[in-house]
Amino acid sequence: MTLHEQRANRSRKMLFGIERPLYLKKVIVVPEEFKKGLVKCRVIYGESIESVIFTMYEKRKINSAKVIYEDHVLYDHKYVIRTGLDDVYAKREDHDEIIIIKNGMVTDAYYFNLVFEKEGKYFTSDTPLLHGIQREKLILSQKVQEIPIHLDDISSYERVHFVNALNPLGRNVLEVAQISF
C-alpha cells in the first residue's frame, strides 16, 4: 500500500470510523492527455471515493517567505476546504509563501512541509500541521531527521526547502535570509 493510501485510510478511520481500506490504484486511471509532464491527481473521498481529478501541475516559484504566528490553526488531514490555512496564507502580504509558527514551534508552509538545511544535513520539524507524503519519504529514507525546531532556531539554518508530493527536496529552496520575521 502506498503512503498516499495509508494516509487516506488513516483519515477515513479517524474521521468516519471506516476500517475498509481504499485501494487508490484501482480508481486512478490516468487519461492519455495527462501521461506527459508533471500531473496532479486529486482524489476526493469521504466514506467512499467521490471524484478523481487530474490537472497539469504548475510549479510555484518561491522567492520569499513570511513567518506567520498562528496558535490555533489545525490541518491534520487533507481537506478540500482549507479555510483556516487560507486565512493564515492571506497574511503573507507581498511574500510568495508563509512559514507557520504555532506555540513557538515551526510547523509548515501553506502547501508544503518544510525541511531546513545546515552544513549539508537536513531537518524537519517534529510539529508539522500535516504529515505530508514527501516529508514521510524523506524521514523513512533517513535523508531528513525529524527534530523540534523553534522559531528562534530558523536563523541557525542556511536554507529551507519547501516539499510536498510534487516538490522533492531541492526543487523549491530559499536562503534563510529571504525569510521575513
What does the pLDDT look like over 66-109, one tens digit per residue?
A: 999 999 988 887 777 788 899 999 999 999 999 999 999 999 99
Q: Which of 113, 126, 118, 102 is closest to 154 using CA atoms? A: 118
Which ranges in the chain are annotated with CATH 3.20.10.10?
65-180
Please name the residues in contact with 36: beta carbons below 8 A apart, sequence gap of 6 or more. none
What does the pLDDT look like over 121-166, one tens digit per residue?
A: 999 999 999 999 999 999 999 999 999 999 999 999 999 999 999 9
H helix runs in 65-109, sequence order: 83-89
CATH fourth-level superfamily of 65-180? D-amino Acid Aminotransferase, subunit A, domain 2 (3.20.10.10)
Q: What is the pTM of this model?
A: 0.88
* Confidence (pLDDT) at 65: 97
